[in-house]
Structure 1
Amino acid sequence: MAESTTILLVPGAWHSPDCYDLVAQQLEVAGYKTDKVHLPSFSPLNHHLDFEADVSQIRKQIESACNQGQKVIVVAHSYGGIPSNEAIKGLDLKTREQSGLPGGVSHLFFCCSFIIAEGQSLISAFGGNDLPWFMISEDRLEVKPATPDEIFYNDCSQTQVDSAIAALGPHSYQVFHSRCTYAAWKDVPSTYLYCLRDAAIPISVQEKMVKETAEGFGVATQVVDASHSPFLSKPEETALAIRRSAGEDI
């Protein structure tokens, strides 16, 4: 099973896809192929006004794996879940099979990510207000996190925190206002990884998205006692959770 599955790793805002390296190593040892997405809205030369470039990049990499006959598990962290949902439209396994095409997205794995309905954006999911730790440029094109050590890495070692902060980059702010037109979790089997110590998306908000927004769509849940960055603080547990979502009995 593993060799026929590609796990596509989509980071959240401000993060390079290299943040997934510890998890990717675990998955590759278990026999899976992995691929990482560099979001165009992360540290761009010119800031993007919507999430279309992110959607396009994710979709391109999904299609590449599908065309090799691979089942694709999309692992999305934080903001990454929003363009990932949009990118999956028409690329799920069932639709591809019905069209006589190889491969397809077999599972969507939310790593303390956003589950939002059609017509919603990241900002609207928070009631239309910027979060207090958003540092937004005067032209409202760029956003940085004010206290990443507290918000993203509150259970990491100081060495991990220093390394992670050094790897952060500015993000295109306006992508947070892009509204989804498709909710992949309605059509694709999905798993949500609850992160109990998350200071960016508190566990109460995570649970509300799963139990209210996605009510009735059978989103499975797993739990890790970690911050907003379980791929750094709990890479083994995160990799095992992803493998379970792939159907492994472990």
Structure 2
Amino acid sequence: MTFILVPGAWHLPSSFDLLRGGLDALGHASIAVKLPTTGPEPRGGLAEDAAAIRAAIDAVSGPVHVMAHSYGGIPATQAADGVAHLIYLAAYVPDVGESMFTIHGLPDPESAEGLFPIGDDPRAQLYADVPEAVADQAIARLVEQRVQPWVDRVSAAAWQSVPSTYIVTTNDASLPVELQEKMATRAGTVRRIPTSHSPFLSRPAELAALLDAIVTG
């Protein structure tokens, strides 16, 4: 089996390096996807991100399990039809016609052509429980993120037709736990891990073991 790993906003595939090491130790192959709307040189919108995920899925022979983090849940929802399992890690779970903006109850911006700022304190927001040296490296690797895919609305919802699990990060300072719990009701099963928004950096071995348990039953 192979895990397709979908990063969230501002994050490159390298953010999953520690998790991929944990999965490899458990005998699981993995591929981390580069989303086009995430820099450097970000481009496109939801359609382009979903196409990148779909291309990674289609390139694998055998069972595919998709794990999407944070914003990555939106294009994964659009793209992951037919996979063996879809796992949302502190991620958005849109229904057809929804976007990140609508999930938060926000009106669409006048223009979606710009970039969305990372925030003043990514360490507190994203990496509160991540070891200092690892967090420093993660912050240095953050890149630009387009607004467009946050405004685009999904036209397909894979969680309606494939087995799905939501992993709630119960000490999250980025995606409110209350909102996670609400979105988790759309998944088939719910698991919880007592971490901040980025357990792939704070507890990669524990997260790998949890993913293994989810897909092996």
TM-score by length of 1: 0.82
CA contact (8 A) 2:115 2:144 kept: yes
Q: Distance in 1 between matches of 2:26 and 2:67?
A: 16
Equivalent residues in 2 for 1:55-134, closer than 5 Å: 55-65=50-60, 68=61, 70-89=62-81, 92=82, 105-128=83-106
Equivalent residues in 2 for 1:215-226, closer than 5 Å: 219-226=188-195
- The Cα RMSD (Å) is 1.8
Q: Distance in 1 between matches of 2:24 and 2:10?
A: 25
Give the AA of the match of 2:115: E
Residue 133 of structure 1 is matched in structure 2 by none
Tell me, which stretches of 5 or more residues in structure 2 are unaligned?
A: none
Residue 117 of structure 2 is matched in structure 1 by 144
2:93 pairs with 1:156: no
Pick one of 190, 198, 208 that aligns with 2:172: 198
Per mean C-alpha deviation after superposition, the further-off stretch among 55-64 and 151-160 is 151-160
CA contact (8 A) 1:112 1:193 kept: yes
Q: Please identify the structure whose Cα radius of gyration is greater.
A: 1
Pick one of 27, 31, 34 that aligns with 1:31: 27
Tell me, which stretches of 5 or more residues in structure 1 are unaligned?
A: 93-104, 131-135
**Relative contact order, higher structure (CA 8 A, sep 6+):** 2
Give the AA of the match of 2:196: S
2:2 pairs with 1:6: yes
Residue 20 of structure 1 is matched in structure 2 by 16
Q: Distance in 1 between matches of 2:114 and 2:40?
A: 11
SS at structure 2 position matched to 1:221: strand
Percent of residue pairs identical: 34
Q: Distance in 1 between matches of 2:182 and 2:27?
A: 34
Q: Distance in 1 between matches of 2:7 and 2:112?
A: 25
Residue 216 of structure 2 is matched in structure 1 by 247
CA contact (8 A) 1:10 1:74 kept: yes
Q: Distance in 1 between matches of 2:155 and 2:47?
A: 12
Give the AA of the match of 1:141: G
2:146 pairs with 1:172: yes
Q: How many residues align?
A: 215
CA contact (8 A) 2:2 2:31 kept: yes
How far 1:47 sits from its partner (Å)? 3.4
